[in-house]
Amino acid sequence: MGLLSKKDAALIKDPLADNNPITIQVLGICSALAITAELEAAIVMSVSVLFVLGIGNVVISLMRNIIPSKIRIIVQLIVVAALVIIVDQVLKAFAYELSKTLSVFVGLIITNCIIMGRFEAFALGNGPWRSFLDGIGNSLGYGVILIIVAFFRELLGAGTLLGIKVLGDPIEKTGVYAFGYENNGFMLLAPMALIVVGIIIWIQRTRNTSLVEDH
């Protein structure tokens, strides 16, 4: 991180653990539940959020002195929605295959509160470069949790990782299934995502007791 000053490096590093958007700031939960049944979807979503939050933060930061505070929410939402829709349309025209994978996430990205949350909390009060770093850091922190949750849900729920059968075939009874192991279909359901995130919070706060809340 020779390029970045200590303060700037913290913008990237903090959200990865001690100020994680999901487990500490409580942002972007809906999408963390909706798309973590499968590792691949979680990775695609993380990368999309990385782009949108990185660019969106810069745009909002550049506009921060001309946005009237009375209508700032509308402005922020329209900026991010327009950004996402234009990207979606361009992909549909030039990279149709890729757009089919991504179009499912368009709605989830626009309504992802991590994006609005960072606009409000950071980009409205900071310069473009720092906002950009903040966007990258937070989306990385978001992605880390998403990928951990999806890893466990897909592995325990379907016995696969990225669609590859790593535990053997449940119908042919090969691999671990030969010993009577069964997939825990419960893991694929959204309530289990909540509980997995709860457990991640538990582990994180056991390791770093300064994060513990009073009650």
Partner 1 sequence: MEHIELFFKSIFIDNMVFATFLGMCSYLAVSKKVSTAVGLGAAVIFVLAITVPLNWLLDQYLLQPGALTWLGPEYADYNLSFLSFIMFIATIATMVQLVEIVVEKFSPSLYNSLGIFLPLIAVNCAILGGSLFMQSREIPTIGLATTYGIGSGIGWFLAILAIAAIREKIRYSNVPPALRGLGITFIITGLMAIGFMSFGGMLTGGDDEGAKKEETVQVEGTNTDSEEEVIANNIKGNE
Partner 2 sequence: MSNRTESNVYTIIFAIAMVIVVGGLLAFTASALRPMIDNNERLEKQQNILYAMGVNDNDESSAVFVSTKEAPQLFEKYISKQLVIQGDNVSEDENAYLIDVKKEQASAKEGNERRLPLFVGEKDGKTFYIAPIRGKGLWDAIWAYIAMDKDMVVQGAYFDHKGETAGLGANIKQRFFMDDFIGENLMNNGEFKGITVAKGNNDPKNENKNDNKVDAIAGATITGDGVSAMLKSELKQYVPYFETLKNE
Alpha-carbon dihedral sign for residues 148, 149, 150, 152 = positive
Helix (H, G, I), strand (E, B) or coil at 25: coil
Residue placing its CB nearer to partner 2 in the complex, 71 or 203: 71
Establish if 104 lies at the interface with partner 2 (CB under 8 A): yes
For residue 16, the minimal CB distance to partner 1 (Å) is 18
Establish if 73 lies at the interface with partner 2 (CB under 8 A): no
- 124-143 residues in contact with partner 1 (CB under 8 A) are none
Distance between CA atoms of 145 and 36, rounded to whole angstroms?
A: 10
Distance between CA atoms of 178 and 30, rounded to whole angstroms?
A: 37
Establish if 178 lies at the interface with partner 1 (CB under 8 A): no
Distance between CA atoms of 72 and 58, rounded to whole angstroms?
A: 15
Among 115, 133, 140, 149, binds partner 1 (CB under 8 A): 115
Establish if 189 lies at the interface with partner 2 (CB under 8 A): yes
Establish if 182 lies at the interface with partner 2 (CB under 8 A): no
Residue pair 188/157 in contact by the 8 Å Cβ criterion: yes
* Closest to 31 in 3D by CA, of 93, 110, 88: 110
Establish if 96 lies at the interface with partner 2 (CB under 8 A): yes
From the list partner 2, partner 1, none, pick the one residue 3 interacts with, judged by a Cβ distance below 5 to 8 Å according to partner type: none
Residue pair 92/98 in contact by the 8 Å Cβ criterion: no
Binding site for partner 2 (CB under 8 A): 34-38, 40-41, 65-71, 74-75, 78-79, 82, 85-86, 89-90, 92-94, 96, 103-104, 107, 153-154, 157-158, 171, 183, 185, 188-189
